[in-house]
Structure 1
Amino acid sequence: MILVVVSVFTVAIVVATLLPLWRHPHWSVRSFDFPRLQLAVLAALLVIAQLIFLDFGRPLSWALLLVAAGSLAVQLWWVLPYTAIWPKEVKDAPTPNPERTLAILTSNVLTHNRNAEALLALVKEHEPDILVTLESDKWWEDQLAVLEGTMPYSIKCPLDNLYGMHVFSRLPLHEPEVCFLIEKEVPSMHALVELRAGEKVQVHFVHPAPPSPTENDESTERDAELVIVGRRVANNDEPVIVTGDLNDVAWSETTRLFRKVSGLLDPRVGRGFYSTFHADYRLLRWPLDHLFHSHHFTLDSITRLPSIGSDHFPLLTRVVLTPVRGQDQEPLRPDSDDRNWAQDIAQSESASKEDVP
């Protein structure tokens, strides 16, 4: 009986490990990208149970142990880069220079959440240069209007479909645009932000729709938006930041594809998970809110802030424009398979990098 139970759990772990390696975009496949940390813990517990309960005089017991251990190794390969034992992809900033520091607070507020005071308190406490809100409707726009005295530059797109977006900035925003890159009701925002020292930084704020049984059956819309934004900023000599709720985890193959085609860096690597979703369920959390940047920046700090009543925690990231220090920071590099895959994803939605400002 023990052998049967252990065998069933081993098969389940193997399927959950191998399924997301299949590039099929259906939500039932892509959903297994998310709980890799939880699956790694389950695989480790399974290995321990096998060592305790199985009779290793039987070849099947050894096979089950090797398969479970292999599944654990695969899951760890994906998640260990987001721990402190891994080398940092982004260098620590030298003594911060306020003139060249950019602090961005991203917050998926959850449309029907009405605790605007909590978010305003965080803005007052941390004084970010830019606040990005996601899922913000007209009610949220009205509540956040009090920020316009200290953050006079803004981009607004209130929507009641869970994809509204607002940007408030202390720093000048040049050439602001609201775009609907893939889906007609899912906006993204794009601008040049002028630092206090005078340099300009390309900023792209995104919130593509996730693959799920209640929204898009497949991940192609989300993946296509990330791909064309990534291809647009690739090989750019100017400083670039892409941030928002990607509805994808840091360690998924599709997020890695975005990092490869864009050449942008992930400050989480070598530092921690900074899991922002789900705020209410400690055992079901993963990093969905991101900030990626070009090699021009180093990191002052990245902080997951306290809950504001949303299902996402806010994320505060402070980067410093230090082009010389950042020159030898190495991003992931695409190979021909990555480039072909990115091309196929973009073509599946008839999308082009030229659509991105």
Structure 2
Amino acid sequence: MSSWIFAGLTLLLALAALLPLLHARAWWIRGFDFPRLQLFVLSAAVLAVQLAVREFEAPTAWAVVAVNAAIMLYQGWWIWPYTRLHPVEARACTEPGHARIRLMTSNVLMTNRDAAPLLRLVRELKPDILVAVETDAWWERQLDALLDQLPHSLRRPLDNLYGMHVYSRLPLEDGEIRFLVEDDIPSAHAVVRLADGQRVAVHCLHPRPPSPTEADGSAERDAELVVVGRAAAASRLPAIVTGDLNDVAWSRTTRLFRRVSGLLDPRVGRGMYNTFHARLPALRWPLDHLFHCRHFTLVEMRRLPDIGSDHFPILVELALDPGENPPDAGLELDGEAREEARDAIEDADADDVAREPVRRD
């Protein structure tokens, strides 16, 4: 009897592992991109119990063991770049004197009505730029208390869980809020002038996730990532993309974004930095991201304490350090990735034109 139980569990684990290989964008398929770490642990637990029970009378028992071991290794392949077992992708800053930029990204949870923990963190850590998402008019009033420290801002308060506010100590040139794919999903874009006068392009995103309560599929999210990835790749300035991407670091879509953009992920070789879900330790994965071009090296990266949201904030400091990362760092853009990027744009009927610029402060 137990052999059939192990076979059934292994079949379910195999389906969970293989469904994301489909190019379908349905939420219930794309959802299996997220819990690869949890499924790896579950597969390892089933395998350990099966070996401990030692019931291998049935001729298929060893086949079930082999399949489960293969599933575990396959899930591990996706997540191992985000462990210290993998070589780092973005080199650490080793030389002082380079211009630096310090960014904090926080999904505040719109219904959270205690802004004090986030405000304290900002005043303590003194980021050059704060990117806050899920911000409505109430959050705008609270965050405006930071204008003495971060006087430049881009604002789009919304009560649909997709408001966005960017506050900066550094001047924001050509800053604007854009609606790249969906009319109610903003993104922020600006050129930031560093202390030494060098300029950096910064893109801040919070696309809608595929889920039964948000979107039936991932088409719009995927298209927004490709659009911004193309913009970063075409930029004549060093580029940074940050925000709550509503996608995990190891997913097919985020890997496509990295191929299209050419940007590096500073988490590779350093850890997952799981930011969601703050209240459910067993169900955590990296949803809040920062990617940067090869001109930057990493000074510091850390997940910050609980602020009362369902996300932890994340802090990243970069040094503008051209030539330190190898020219082949990151993921290669090949013909298959180019075709997949075109499909993502076409599926969402998206383009590179902003639909509605709004005021800048």
TM-score (norm 2): 0.96
Counterparts of 1:79-158 in structure 2, within 5 Å, are 79-97=79-97, 100-158=99-157
**Secondary structure at 2:127 match in 1:** coil
**Residue in structure 1 matched with residue 348 of structure 2 by the alignment:** 349
Q: Alpha carbons of 1:207 and 1:96: their partners in 2 closer, same or farther (altered >3 Å)?
A: farther
**Residue in structure 1 matched with residue 323 of structure 2 by the alignment:** 324
**Secondary structure at 1:234 match in 2:** helix
Residue identity in the other structure for 2:69? A
Residue identity in the other structure for 1:68? N
Counterparts of 1:245-260 in structure 2, within 5 Å, are 245-260=244-259
Shift of 1:235: 4.7
**Secondary structure at 1:59 match in 2:** coil
User: Over residues 81-117 of structure 1, what are the superposed CA-to-partner deviations in whole Å (9 max), with x where a residue is unaligned?
Assistant: 00011000000012443x6110000000000101111
Q: CA separation in 2, counterparts of 1:355 and 1:331?
A: 28
Shift of 1:351: 1.6
Q: Is 1:177 matched up with 2:176?
A: yes
**Residue in structure 1 matched with residue 199 of structure 2 by the alignment:** 200
Shift of 1:46: 1.3
Shift of 1:353: 3.5
**Residue in structure 2 matched with residue 212 of structure 1 by the alignment:** 211
User: 8 Å contact 2:93–2:319 — kept in the other structure?
Assistant: yes
**Residue in structure 1 matched with residue 297 of structure 2 by the alignment:** 298
- Of 246-255 and 57-66, more deviation after overlay is shown by 57-66
May I ask how many residue pairs the two structures share in their alignment?
356
Residue identity in the other structure for 2:119? L
- Of 43-52 and 123-132, more deviation after overlay is shown by 43-52
User: Over residues 164-221 of structure 1, what are the superposed CA-to-partner deviations in whole Å (9 max), with x where a residue is unaligned?
Assistant: 0000000010001110111101000000000001100000000000001011100000
Counterparts of 1:39-118 in structure 2, within 5 Å, are 39-97=39-97, 100-118=99-117
User: 8 Å contact 1:109–1:136 — kept in the other structure?
Assistant: yes
User: 8 Å contact 1:85–1:270 — kept in the other structure?
Assistant: yes
**Secondary structure at 1:334 match in 2:** coil
**Secondary structure at 2:150 match in 1:** coil
List gaps (5 residues or longer) in structure 2.
Answer: none
List gaps (5 residues or longer) in structure 1.
Answer: none
Q: CA separation in 2, counterparts of 1:256 and 1:263?
A: 10
Shift of 1:29: 0.3
User: 8 Å contact 2:275–2:313 — kept in the other structure?
Assistant: yes
Q: Alpha carbons of 1:354 and 1:186: their partners in 2 closer, same or farther (altered >3 Å)?
A: closer
Residue identity in the other structure for 1:176? G
Shift of 1:78: 0.3
Q: CA separation in 2, counterparts of 1:283 and 1:153?
A: 38
Shift of 1:324: 2.2
Counterparts of 1:9-28 in structure 2, within 5 Å, are 9-28=9-28
**Residue in structure 1 matched with residue 31 of structure 2 by the alignment:** 31
Residue identity in the other structure for 2:187? S
**Residue in structure 1 matched with residue 7 of structure 2 by the alignment:** 7
Identity of matched residues, %? 52
TM-score (norm 1): 0.97
**Residue in structure 2 matched with residue 277 of structure 1 by the alignment:** 276
**Secondary structure at 1:248 match in 2:** coil
Q: CA separation in 2, counterparts of 1:53 and 1:149?
A: 64
User: Over residues 241-260 of structure 1, what are the superposed CA-to-partner deviations in whole Å (9 max), with x where a residue is unaligned?
Assistant: 00000000001011000000
User: 8 Å contact 2:179–2:354 — kept in the other structure?
Assistant: no
User: 8 Å contact 1:295–1:329 — kept in the other structure?
Assistant: no
User: Over residues 23-51 of structure 1, what are the superposed CA-to-partner deviations in whole Å (9 max), with x where a residue is unaligned?
Assistant: 21000000000000000001111111221
Q: Alpha carbons of 1:320 and 1:239: their partners in 2 closer, same or farther (altered >3 Å)?
A: same
Q: CA separation in 2, counterparts of 1:58 and 1:7?
A: 11
Q: CA separation in 2, counterparts of 1:141 and 1:96?
A: 36
Shift of 1:57: 4.7
Residue identity in the other structure for 1:85? L
Residue identity in the other structure for 2:61? S
Q: CA separation in 1, counterparts of 2:29 and 2:255?
A: 17
Q: Alpha carbons of 1:330 and 1:37: their partners in 2 closer, same or farther (altered >3 Å)?
A: same
**Residue in structure 2 matched with residue 338 of structure 1 by the alignment:** 337
User: Over residues 251-273 of structure 1, what are the superposed CA-to-partner deviations in whole Å (9 max), with x where a residue is unaligned?
Assistant: 10110000001100000000001
